[in-house]
Amino acid sequence: MPLHPSTPSATPPPLQVAIVGGGPAGLMAADVLALAGVQVDLFDAMPSVGRKFLLAGKGGLNLTHNEPFERFIGRFGVRSAAIEPLLRGFPPAALRDWAQTLGIGTFVGSSGRVFPVDMKAAPLLRAWLHRMRAMGVRFHMRHRLTGLVREPDRTWRLQMHAAEPRADLCASAVLLALGGASWPRLGSDGAWANWLQGLGAEVTPFEPSNCGFDVARAGDAGQLLPGWSDHLRRRFAGSPLKTVALSVQGPGGSRFDERGECVVTEGGVEGSLIYAASSALRSLIAAQGSALAHLDLLPDRDLTAVRNELARPRGPRSLASHLKRRLRIDGVKAALLRELLPRATFADASALAAAIKCLPLTLVAPRPLAEAISTAGGVRFESLDESLMLRAQPGVFCAGEMLDWEAPTGGYLLTACFATGVAAAQGVLRYLALPGEKSASVNSIGMPCGVRSAA
Ligand SMILES: Cc1cc2nc3c(=O)[nH]c(=O)nc-3n(C[C@H](O)[C@H](O)[C@H](O)COP(=O)(O)OP(=O)(O)OC[C@H]3O[C@@H](n4cnc5c(N)ncnc54)[C@H](O)[C@@H]3O)c2cc1C
């Protein structure tokens, strides 16, 4: 017999902080909050966290970039001003220090990109999760958030789709880190946009960023034909174009001019150089139906040098072997010249030299969002205060790729996800702080210190 009559089952107390989304942004927020002594419950729709992060580690996890900070900020284009204070709060150097606290050393590659010493994401994620579990972070997998409801006591009820119905989930603060909408099979499908707009968040429509593009080529009658010819597609799809330069006259007088590498695909081009230009190319296509880019197939030689080499007597050799012998143009580069230039150009050495240095490439469509490395669009900064809290919904914070910014590959994406995770977590700490409590301060690696457990 119980000594006391049993009380009717009361509503459980609200969670202190619910983080929804276990990618780099949500995990970073959980780390910051747990280090500050806050009880964190982290939910994710997938059976495990960090799936896109692990995929990012497959080809070498590019954590951040070592270039000067001003240049780094410039990579965020029209959103540079909005993202600058967030990155200043957790800059690339702080990110490297933070990785070191997990026992993960980093190094700067020849291009300035920063990688973990072993290049992998898995050891970092393992050490990170281990630390968070030791700090008491509770992980709830296979929980898909489908909405938020404000309760009269100002807590947030999380509407969850889970194996077992959970009507009991209320939290004093909610931090959303739901990702963008690329690679949906890894968990982030952008479905949150509908219900979050219903809560007053302005959401810029999603678009593919860091994506490949479909090309068009001129037919015999000058008409535009979609994709590559069968010959080029069959023989060269998957072939890398090393080293080339790409120039694009972007919208509003902007200009993209970079050298790097790309890959010929089944119907177009992709790879880091194309990704870097994806924002400009996408805008041009949206505005005028297509984008004209120019490839320099020999960026290490100037036009005069190319012209001089081509003008050398070739004797009985074919033009193809002349190009190969004098300029090392063969394989996919030679095939692209044949594909994209009118026949007459090959009879004019000067015109051919000019085309090698400035080969016109017409791009007609970005590849679908599901194939893109990242997403443009998302929650507009105008809907958020400086703590990344929704102005319309006190206590709801957003971080990571679900925010409306984009950047090229090169470590900028992860750095911004981490930095916005830190900023939103600090915002949560301030939000939960008791009146008069000192607000969160940040130590040298961007972690909050001296903050009492709040709420
Ligand atoms: C192939 C590839 C390679 C990449 N390589 C790099 C790289 O080297 N360097 C770099 O800087 N960036 C890279 N990126 C980009 C980087 O991985 C992403 O920008 C980053 O993972 C985004 O972090 P996030 O936390 O905002 O979102 P995500 O990592 O997408 O995580 C969001 C989480 O939210 C969960 N979720 C979504 N909706 C719900 C819901 N309704 N309820 C519950 N949970 C939900 C998802 O399951 C997911 O776990 C790469 C991306 C890809 C696809």
Gyration radius (Cα) of the chain, Å: 26
- Ligand 1 centre to CA of 50 (Å) is 7
Which atom from ligand 1 is nearest to the alpha carbon of 401? Answer: 26
Cβ partners under 8 Å of residue 240, min gap 6:
261, 262, 263, 271, 332
Cβ partners under 8 Å of residue 128, min gap 6:
27, 31, 102
- Per DSSP, helices labelled H in 90-241 are 92-101, 122-134, 192-198, 230-236
Band of residue 9 on the pLDDT scale cut at 50, 70, 90: low
Which atom from ligand 1 is nearest to the alpha carbon of 190? Answer: 38
Which atom from ligand 1 is nearest to the alpha carbon of 144? Answer: 42
User: How far is the CA of 50 from the CAs of 53, 124, 233, 310, in angstroms?
Assistant: 5, 11, 35, 52
Band of residue 46 on the pLDDT scale cut at 50, 70, 90: very high
Q: Whose CA is nearest to atom 33 of ligand 1?
A: 21
Q: pLDDT tens, 282-311?
A: 999 999 999 999 999 999 999 999 999 999
Q: 177 CB less than 6 Å from ligand 1?
A: yes
Count Cβ neighbours within 10 Å for each residue of 75-109 and write b for 16 or more, e otherwise.
bbbebbebbbebbeebbbebbbbbbeebebebeee
431-436 average pLDDT score: 65
Q: 21 CB less than 6 Å from ligand 1?
A: yes
Q: Residue 220: what pLDDT?
A: 80
List the structure tokens of 343.
């026949």
Residue 131 has pLDDT above 90, yes or no: yes
Asked whether the beta carbons of 398 and 78 are under 8 A apart, the reply is no
- Ligand 1 centre to CA of 188 (Å) is 7
Q: 413 CB less than 6 Å from ligand 1?
A: yes
Q: Residue 269: what pLDDT?
A: 98
Q: 169 CB less than 6 Å from ligand 1?
A: no
User: How far is the CA of 154 from the CAs of 141, 160, 396, 424, 454, in angstroms?
Assistant: 26, 19, 11, 19, 16
- Ligand 1 centre to CA of 67 (Å) is 24
Q: 26 CB less than 6 Å from ligand 1?
A: yes
Residue 435 has pLDDT above 60, yes or no: no
Q: pLDDT tens, 368-385?
A: 999 999 999 999 999 999
User: Mean pLDDT over all residues of the chain?
Assistant: 92
- Ligand 1 centre to CA of 205 (Å) is 18
Q: Whose CA is nearest to atom 50 of ligand 1?
A: 56
Q: Calculate what percentage of the chain has a pLDDT beyond 90.
A: 87
Q: 401 CB less than 6 Å from ligand 1?
A: yes
Longest dimension (CA), the chain: 108
- Ligand 1 centre to CA of 360 (Å) is 34
Residue 169 has pLDDT above 60, yes or no: yes
Q: How many CB atoms lie within 10 A of CB 242?
A: 13
Pocket test for ligand 1, best of 54, 188, 388 (most atoms within 8 A of CB): 188
Q: 378 CB less than 6 Å from ligand 1?
A: no
Which atom from ligand 1 is nearest to the alpha carbon of 414? Answer: 11
- Ligand 1 centre to CA of 23 (Å) is 5
List the structure tokens of 413.
């994406």
Q: 188 CB less than 6 Å from ligand 1?
A: yes
Q: pLDDT tens, 393-423?
A: 999 999 999 999 999 999 999 999 999 999 9
Cβ partners under 8 Å of residue 452, min gap 6:
37, 433, 434, 437
Amino acid identity, position 375: T
Residue 194 has pLDDT above 80, yes or no: yes
Which atom from ligand 1 is nearest to the alpha carbon of 400? Answer: 26
- Ligand 1 centre to CA of 178 (Å) is 8
More reliable by pLDDT, 18 or 314 = 18
- Ligand 1 centre to CA of 373 (Å) is 9
Distance, in Å, from the CA atom of 215 to the CA atom of 225, rounded to the nearest integer, reads 9
Q: 375 CB less than 6 Å from ligand 1?
A: no
Which atom from ligand 1 is nearest to the alpha carbon of 180? Answer: 30
